[in-house]
């Protein structure tokens, strides 16, 4: 995939990178991280391709693709599930699951979604369909996450453009680190959620006992 994207991007430049990133945002099974890395690589090999402009193109493509999914959900709502492509992307089971996750994690889910290949597009689509989140809030959360991920991949490709074997080792290492961080984050969130739930039950039991004591005293 890397070699194909490098060849294609070398021939068609920034526009090709932007197009592929938009397709990634629309749920097409093209790895976004490898797309960004490929853009970085050609900027490291071709003096006519500037890595900083490539970064800007990468951010624009990522945010445009993500915004398209969000706004499609916002504009068409549940009607979008009548379209076969979107119906496969957001099945009723997946829709219910994402809704429950939004209720539990809120805006944090939007931020984390940028680092979840395969789930990113459905999450953004459902976020738009739910009408719980404004576009401004969405683009801020998505933009903050993109400012972390996009520069990493573009500049990684740029600095290791002349050693593709080592580059792919680093790509896999970083992917592993991202998944590890997300796993730890999920455990922390789960701990906080269970702690709050435990204290809520404890408060309810305590209140019930106090009410019983008050009833006995009144008698």
pLDDT at 46: 76
pLDDT at 190: 66
Instruction: Give percent of the chain with pLDDT exceeding 70.
Output: 85
**Residue 213 placed within a domain:** no
Contact by Cβ (8 Å): 129, 74:
yes
Q: Which two tokens stand for residue 134?
A: 């404004």
Please report which confidence band the pLDDT of residue 216 belongs to, taking 50, 70 and 90 as the band edges. low
Place of tokens 């809120």: 106
Lowest mean pLDDT among 35-44, 96-105, 125-134, 148-157: 96-105
Please measure the distance between the N-terminal and C-terminal CA atoms of the chain and give it in whole angstroms: 79
Quick check: helix, strand or coil at residue 114?
A: coil
Write the pLDDT tens digit of every residue in 38-74: 999 999 887 688 999 999 999 999 999 999 989 988 8
CA distance 63 to 139: 8
**Residue 172 placed within a domain:** no
Contact by Cβ (8 Å): 87, 170:
no
**Residue 189 placed within a domain:** no
How many C-beta atoms surround the C-beta of residue 205 within 10 A? 10
**Residue 142 placed within a domain:** yes
Q: Which two tokens stand for residue 138?
A: 């969405």
Tell me the average pLDDT across 25-30.
82
> 79: Cβ–Cβ under 8 A, 6 or more apart, which residues?
none
Would you say how long the chain is, in residues? 219
**Residue 10 placed within a domain:** yes
Domain tally, the chain:
1
pLDDT at 16: 92
Q: What is the mean pLDDT of the chain?
A: 81
Q: Which two tokens stand for residue 24?
A: 């990634």
Domain extent, residue 8, equals 2-165
pLDDT at 112: 83
**Residue 195 placed within a domain:** no
**Residue 181 placed within a domain:** no
**Residue 211 placed within a domain:** no
pLDDT at 116: 78
């Amino acid at each position: 995939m890397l070699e194909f994207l490098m060849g294609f991007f070398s021939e068609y430049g920034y526009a090709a990178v932007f197009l592929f990133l938009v397709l990634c945002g629309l749920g097409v099974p093209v790895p976004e991280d490898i797309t960004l890395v490929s853009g970085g690589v050609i900027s490291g090999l071709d003096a006519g391709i500037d890595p900083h402009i490539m970064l800007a193109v990468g951010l624009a493509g990522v945010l445009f693709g993500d915004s398209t999914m969000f706004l499609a959900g916002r504009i068409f709502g549940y009607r979008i599930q009548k379209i076969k492509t979107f119906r496969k992307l957001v099945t009723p089971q997946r829709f219910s699951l994402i809704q429950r996750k939004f209720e539990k994690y809120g805006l944090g889910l939007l931020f984390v979604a940028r680092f979840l290949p395969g789930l990113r597009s459905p999450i953004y689509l459902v976020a738009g369909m739910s009408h719980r989140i404004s576009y401004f809030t969405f683009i801020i959360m998505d933009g903050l996450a993109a400012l972390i991920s996009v520069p990493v991949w573009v500049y990684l490709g740029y600095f290791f453009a002349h050693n593709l074997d080592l580059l792919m080792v680093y790509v896999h290492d970083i992917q592993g680190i991202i998944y590890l961080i997300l796993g730890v984050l999920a455990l922390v969130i789960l701990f906080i959620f269970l702690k709050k739930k435990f204290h809520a039950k404890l408060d309810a039991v305590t209140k019930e006992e106090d009410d019983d004591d008050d009833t006995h005293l009144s008698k």
